[in-house]
Amino acid sequence: MKKGNKYGIHRVIEPKGVLPQPALKIDNNMEIYDNEILIDVRTLNIDSASFTQITEQAGGDDEKIKEIMLGIVKERGKHHNPVTGSGGMLIGIVEKIGPALAGKTDLKVGDKIATLVSLSLTPLRIDEILEIRKDIDQVDIKGKAILFESGIYAKLPDDIPENLALSVLDVAGAPAQTKKLVKEGHTVLILGAAGKSGILCLYEAKKAAGPTGKVICLDYSEKSLENVEKLELADDYIVADATNGIEVYNKVMEATDGKLCDTVIVNVNIRNCEMAAILSTKEYGTVYFFSMATDFTNAALGAEGVSKDINMIIGNGYCKGHAETALQILRESEKIRELYTKLYA
């Protein structure tokens, strides 16, 4: 059996010398190296920005969505959207474990897991697309995938349905990072707060900011905020277009008595929302760009253009303990679990 590199660079075909994520093409032959795990894939949870783009490109047609997805994997050996640069994650069953991982993993053949690394770096083979669930960005397939030695994963819990767990684990980095960034007494703005990651961030922001803090929930329509208001996770609710920086800024100024926000979390899945976040942040505050639709050049030059000295954090989907943080929200909040069961399970 061939020996592999911890980070999977032995799978990179083009260009040589880069890691699997930025690579244009990787080897998706499912004969494993000595330090890899073979997964029998059941469901792909496509990154929201990526799935939105693919659906728009396909005009909402399921057969065209299948064609685009299969084309991406055929070209790249992984589901790495060439437009958004993002991927998603998967759930499946462990089929083989390389001998070099003996004693290094708690997995065994037959375990059901969710990978916590992006599909944009995961060798993937799709044999058949069985079902597309556009409302929750999930696609059931027959196929195989490879998890590298450095890849992280979560065993699916017994007390949470697998589709529900997958939906939450896909965005686990957002609430975990929110938990780290928000301090007691902070004023916090969540952009795209009515979405899957946004609601989880509201929950952690409310806990972390405490009774002396203020959490502002912003989304694009009254209808999208109806479910969120029932959860009682925010102090203010704003309807605004996050691509309209001045509109958002004016409404946040009003909600904060002109003080703006200590922390802004960006969860929107569309482009051109950088300035809404930047303008809403007070001097020396922090913006966390969780959304993969973020244009980081626009963010950097935009902040410079309006003379904002703020901390801007790239949306690292990994944070220690993030899987457990996200799943624990479903265990702690009956209201969120009921809503997510209705939407995603």
Predicted local distance difference test score (pLDDT) of residue 343: 86
Strand boundaries in the chain, DSSP class E: 12-14, 25-26, 37-46, 88-97, 112-115, 124-133, 138-147, 153-155, 187-191, 214-219, 236-239, 261-266, 281-289, 311-314
- Which domains can be identified in the chain, with CATH numbers? 9-156 (no CATH), 173-344 (3.40.50.720)
What pLDDT, on a 0 to 100 scale, did the predictor assign at position 270? 86
Q: Which tens digits make up the pLDDT trace of 276-287?
A: 999 999 999 999
Q: What is the pTM of this model?
A: 0.83
Per-residue pLDDT tens over the stretch 113-138: 999 999 999 999 999 999 999 988 99
Q: How confident is the model over 59-73, as pLDDT tens digits?
A: 999 999 999 999 999
State residue 259's pLDDT score: 98
Rg for the chain, CA atoms, rounded: 20
State the residue for tokens 């800024």: 249
Describe the chain by its helix, strand, coil percentages, rounded to 5.
Answer: 35, 25, 40
Segments of the chain scoring below 70 in pLDDT = none
Query: What distance in Å separates the CA atoms of residue 343 and residue 345, rounded to the nearest whole number?
Result: 6
